[in-house]
Amino acid sequence: MPERVKFGDMLASLRRSLEAIPEHRTGKNIQYDMVDAGLGAFSVFCLQSPSFLAYQEQMRKQHGRDNARSLFGIETIPSDGQIRNLFDPVAPDFLYEPFWDIYHLVQHSGYLEDYRHVAGTLLLSFDGTRFFSSERIHCDQCTVYQYESGTSYAHTVLGAVLSAPGQTHVLALEPEFVTPQDGHDKQDCEQQAIKRWLTRNARRFEDWSVTVLTDDLHSHQPLCEVLRENKFHFILTCKPESHPTLYQELELLAKVQGAHQTHTLRRWVGHHYEEWRYHWVQDVPLRTGKDALRVNWCEVTVIRESTGEQLYHNAWITSHELTPETVEAVADAGRARWKVENEGFNVLKRQGYEFEHNFGHGHQHLSMVLLTLLFLAFLVHSVLHLTWAVYQAIRKALGARRNFFNDLRALTRYFYFEDWEGMIRFMAEQLEVGPI
What are the domain boundaries of the chain?
1-109+357-436, 234-331
pLDDT score of 29: 61
For 275, list phi and psi in degrees, rounded to 5: -105, 120
Number of H helices, E strands in the chain: 16, 11
For residue 163, count CB atoms less than 10 angstroms from its CB and return exposed for 0-12, middle for 13-18, buried for 19 or more: buried
> Coil, strand or helix: which one is 416?
coil
Residue pLDDT, tens place only, 345-399:
777 777 777 777 778 888 999 999 999 999 999 999 999 999 999 999 999 999 9
Nearest to 87 by CA among 398, 360, 383: 360
> Coil, strand or helix: which one is 415?
coil
Neighbouring CB atoms inside 10 A of 391's CB total 21
- Residues 294 and 274 sit within 8 Å (Cβ to Cβ): no
Residue 265's identity, in one-letter code, is L
- Residues 246 and 297 sit within 8 Å (Cβ to Cβ): yes
pLDDT score of 185: 64
* Mean pLDDT of each 10-residue bin along the chain, 436 residues long: 90 97 74 90 94 96 97 94 92 97 97 94 94 88 87 92 91 94 76 95 97 95 97 97 96 93 93 95 95 97 95 97 95 87 73 75 92 95 95 93 93 97 95 77
Residue pLDDT, tens place only, 18-38:
999 988 777 666 677 899 999
> Coil, strand or helix: which one is 295?
strand
- Residues 243 and 219 sit within 8 Å (Cβ to Cβ): yes
